[in-house]
Chains A and B, each alone.
Chain A
Amino acid sequence: MSHAALSKEFNADPARVDWHNKTLWWIRQKRDRAAQALPEWEQLREAASQIKLNVLSNLANYLEQLEQRASHHGIKVHWASDAEVHNRIVHTILKDAGIDRIVKSKSMLTEECHLNEYLERNGIDVVDTDLGERIVQLAKEPPSHIVLPCIHKKKEEIGALFHEHLGTPENNADPQFLTEAARQHLREKFLTRKAAITGVNFAVAETGELVVCTNEGNADMGAHLADVHIACMGIEKIIPERKHLAVFLRLLARSATGQPITTYSSHFKKPRQGQQLHLILVDNGRTRQLAQPDFRNSLKCIRCGACFNTCPVYRRSGGHSYHTAIAGPIGSILAPNLDRKAYADLPFASTLCGSCTHVCPVKIDIHQQLYQWRQVLMKEGFGTQAKTAQMKLMAAILSQPKRMARAGRWLRWWMSTMPVLFRHRLNPWYRHREMPEAPATSFKEWYANNRKL
């Protein structure tokens, strides 16, 4: 289903849309306060953008450097061209270690690769340990936001899920109580599961270390208690030097939630004694994006979610309407690269207001790329037939002044003579708006008449 059709489903409950919209706007406001508290905020964004541009211009060398340093410290480095290879590597590591029950902390890359489904098909039980991710996992839904996975859920729904799966009392929807129940439920998993998968926020080429940021501490609980730690990262997550972490750690949490930093920013350099630490470097379309100058910039993304929270479309359509692992404005410029046909609707799920670009901590020109994708997708024939026909008709009329004047007169006459022709559900414009009164004349006619005076 398209973004428009899925949004319509989300919009069936106006009170929920209103709540969703306001909740996300509140997070955007927290982000603003955090950003405004730093006088050097704009310079930090510029520095972050420059560092990421440097990374993209020197990516192969940095990856080789990372591999060399990480291997030297005992990290086993794997390379995966696509999601399939990535999933197979994870499964092989687990199989070799004889492990069939694992814990996983948040990783948008593994969502993108549909790792959970793959592992489950192969008989491996995966428990997501980020509270929001555990909630959507119990609900058998994908996350609807990259930072706030269950932002679309009301606490009563979460209470009902926990009652069903964790045995909490019926009708208890107190966040404090539910969080405590999840803590106890997941603590047992942390203590008994022998392998942990985590994402990677930043990998440092200079030192070979991996940085993982969480507020809950779930990545650390998983990684430090398990015998096998598998860290999965997209190749663009690399940064050149350790000092560059200062720039990104200052920007990430402030942009994401308005916090000055996440509770835990963990730097993994060597496996702990007796532990295996695996790093999987995944391409999955990133090199294709890198080869396209118009879209390469999107690889600067640090997955903070600021563009989601500010987007007037995301706030009112919900993450699931984007039908892809990474929703929102950034997802809409990443997804068409993975599958043009499946995600041709997403660059159109935007007003092109540019708010995403203004809040992006690494200065990705998101709204420009949304516009560029529209050009590419229509040219390559991924538009709907109706849209193509409409555009052709419009072009035929608007390109000829005489035709345009005639069409205008015709429309004004029908609108004022038989307004009922335009006031029905088949007219998408009328569904959410009043039709305007047709003016008596066009501007051109008015101008001609009034200039004579």
Chain B
Amino acid sequence: MNNRQAILQRIRSAQVPAEGLPDLSMFSASGAESPVEQFKNTLAAIGGQVIEVASMDVLETLLAEKSEGKRWVNTCSFIQSGERLPDNMNPTALCDVFLASMTGILAVAENGAVWVTEEQMKVRALPFICEHLALVVEKKKIVANMHAAYNLLDTTGDGFGAFIAGPSKTADIEQSLVLGAHGSRTLTVFLV
């Protein structure tokens, strides 16, 4: 018998009594009255920055300033500036990206997380390897909690997706919080 059959057989012979799944509908309803405010406060508390922008022009100017003239890769279709990435590129070629800007599909008020998929990343490594990350999210796409988020997300597409909540961080050395472990050193969410 191979390992697969052996494991499945051992599980089945354990004869664990059947247990049902819980109803999660009660959780979707809970959450803050003002998700935008809660999102801003939560993200600030975990080391991220939130900037509300009135127009795309302002956004583009702010991003250009943030890039400090260094390598800026942009995957947002509605922003003209910034470097575009070719298809099928070697991700290690992104090692000197200073700023990466991309669209976030939705944001979660309770934990400051933004959902981004491969489609927005273009290259999976991009939001992790850049020194600074900027995510552009529509204000109306902020949901109260994770239940509401998963209810909206597509389960069929996307080979890869991630909730990103703040800059990369570690507290492994004597519990001292340090921002910028292996991923981006800062995270700015632009609300439009």
Interchain CB contact under 8 A, A249 and B18: no
Interchain CB contact under 8 A, A266 and B125: no
A276 to B172 CA separation, bound complex (whole angstroms) = 31
Among B79-100, those with CB < 8 Å from A are 88, 91-92, 95
State the A residues within 8 Å of B (CB). Answer: 23, 26-27, 38-40, 43-44, 46-47, 50-51, 53-54, 56-60, 63-64, 73, 79-81, 85, 129-132, 135, 148-151, 153-155, 158, 175-176, 178-180, 182-183, 186-187, 190-191, 206-207, 215-218, 220-221, 223-225, 235, 240, 242-247, 249-250, 257, 259-274, 281, 283, 287-288, 290-291, 296
Interchain CB contact under 8 A, B172 and A217: no
Interchain CB contact under 8 A, B173 and A264: no
Does B67 make an interface contact (CB < 8 A)?
no
Interchain CB contact under 8 A, B22 and A261: no
Interchain CB contact under 8 A, A274 and B92: no
A77 to B148 CA separation, bound complex (whole angstroms) = 31
Does B54 make an interface contact (CB < 8 A)?
no
A224 to B128 CA separation, bound complex (whole angstroms) = 9
Interchain CB contact under 8 A, B20 and A50: yes
Segment of B58-66, B69-77, B153-161 engaged in the interface with chain A: B153-161
Interchain CB contact under 8 A, A40 and B150: no
Chain B residue, CB-CB nearest to A40? B30
Chain A residue, CB-CB nearest to B28? A246
A155 to B174 CA separation, bound complex (whole angstroms) = 6
A244 to B125 CA separation, bound complex (whole angstroms) = 26
Does B188 make an interface contact (CB < 8 A)?
no
Interchain CB contact under 8 A, B14 and A249: no
Known A191-B95, A221-B125, A264-B163; contact A175-B21, beta-carbon cutoff 8 A: no
Known A224-B124, A246-B145; contact A183-B180, beta-carbon cutoff 8 A: yes
Interchain CB contact under 8 A, A57 and B18: yes
Interchain CB contact under 8 A, B170 and A131: yes
Interchain CB contact under 8 A, A207 and B160: no
* A59 neighbours in B (Cβ, 8 Å): 11, 16
A218 to B110 CA separation, bound complex (whole angstroms) = 24
Task: Choose from A26, A179, A216, A224 the contact partner of B91 (Cβ within 8 Å).
Answer: A224
The 17 sampled A-B contact pairs (Cβ below 8 Å) are A47-B27, A79-B4, A79-B7, A80-B3, A129-B182, A215-B181, A220-B125, A220-B183, A224-B129, A245-B150, A261-B165, A262-B165, A264-B163, A266-B161, A287-B10, A291-B10, A296-B16
* B53 neighbours in A (Cβ, 8 Å): none
Does B167 make an interface contact (CB < 8 A)?
yes
Interchain CB contact under 8 A, A216 and B168: yes
Chain A residue, CB-CB nearest to B21? A54
**Quick one: which of B7, B182, B184 has the most chain A CB within 10 A?**
B182
Shortest distance from the beta carbon of B167 to any chain A beta carbon, whole Å: 7
Chain B residue, CB-CB nearest to A262? B165
Interchain CB contact under 8 A, A132 and B8: no
Known A175-B178, A183-B182; contact A79-B3, beta-carbon cutoff 8 A: yes
CB-defined interface of B124-167 with A at 8 Å, one 1/0 digit per residue?
Answer: 11001100000000000000011101110101001111111111
A149 to B16 CA separation, bound complex (whole angstroms) = 34
Interchain CB contact under 8 A, A250 and B145: yes
* B171 neighbours in A (Cβ, 8 Å): 148, 257
* B19 neighbours in A (Cβ, 8 Å): 50, 53-54, 56-57
